[in-house]
Amino acid sequence: MNRLAGRRVVVSGGAQGIGAAIVAMFAAEGAQVTVLDGCAEAAAVLAEEIGCHAYVADLADTRATHEGMQRAISRLGGLDVLVNNAGAMRFRALLDLEPLEVETPFDMGTRTMLITTQVAARAMIGFRTPADECAGKVINVSGMGGTGEGGQAHFAASKAAVMALTRAAAHELGPHGITVNCLCPGYFLDERAAVGADQDRVASWSALSPLGRLGEPRDVARAALFLASTDSDYLTGDALNVSGGMVLH
């Protein structure tokens, strides 16, 4: 359908899993996509498969993230959509958490999103024309931040921060014609995890959804496509659950 024909897109953390699914779907819909990721091998493989461009950057490093974003935008000749998918998933019981372990998901999530959003928004504002109703879109991939099996206190806190950042950014960037929204995936299995997954655990997780299954990366990609398209031009500051109804529990 080419719903994103001509759109210039940067996807941070886009080399694997949900990020890679978003890249593939956006490219199939006509977007020019550049990936920003810390995994050189995965980024190179995806770029070859999809026909997009990829920059390798340590997204936990402020300077590297800033420079990577600038290079990506320069190559695209501007920016219409930013997808923030970078993050770090770690498990640790609440009483065993060390201060440095709390910092990691915030560094790879909230702080990285702040940096990429700042660079992206400046570019979107700079390239805006008086006729533009929607100068750009920022899509933050967060999470339900739940307590499914425990050990997620620091992860849940970082995801709550992402949702708060989304609302604040939507408020400040709205006057510039930029929408900012958040996707909150539930329990997902990518292809690698599915191969070695314990079927009993998969069944128990699937039972949490009224739909009777876990999500797939493409489920989030479809929601991201909606937020990146003109169909969502009057939607901003919202957090959309992509969880198959798991939040009902």
Q: Give 162-202 pLDDT, tens digit per residue.
A: 899 999 999 999 999 999 999 998 877 654 455 445 677 77
Average of per-residue pLDDT across 76-97: 79
Indicate the range of 47-51, 127-131, 173-177, 219-223 predicted with least confidence.
Answer: 127-131
Q: Which residue has the higher pLDDT, 87 or 2?
A: 2
Q: Decide if 3 is inside a domain.
A: no
* Domains identified in the chain, total number: 1
Please report whether residue 112 resides in a domain. yes
94 is a domain residue: yes
Question: Is residue 232 in a domain?
Answer: yes
Whether residue 168 contacts residue 114, with contact meaning beta carbons closer than 8 Å, is answered with: no
Q: Residue 238 — pLDDT band, cuts 50, 70, 90? A: very high
Measured CA to CA in angstroms, residue 133 lies from 49, 73, 168, 233 at distances of 34, 21, 20, 8
What pLDDT is attached to residue 192?
Answer: 45
Nearest to 140 by CA among 173, 168, 171, 117: 117
Q: Which domain holds residue 133?
A: 8-243
CA 25 to mean position of chain CA atoms: 14
Distance CA 146, CA 100 (A): 21
Identify whether 249 is part of a domain: no
Residue 39 maps to a domain: yes
Q: Is residue 99 part of a domain?
A: yes
**CATH number for the domain harbouring residue 121:** 3.40.50.720
pLDDT the model gives residue 88: 58
As a whole number, mean pLDDT of residues 32-48 equals 93
What are the tens digits of pLDDT across the range 131-153?
566 789 999 998 765 444 555 66
Instruction: Judge whether 248 lies within some domain.
Output: no
* pLDDT of 96: 64
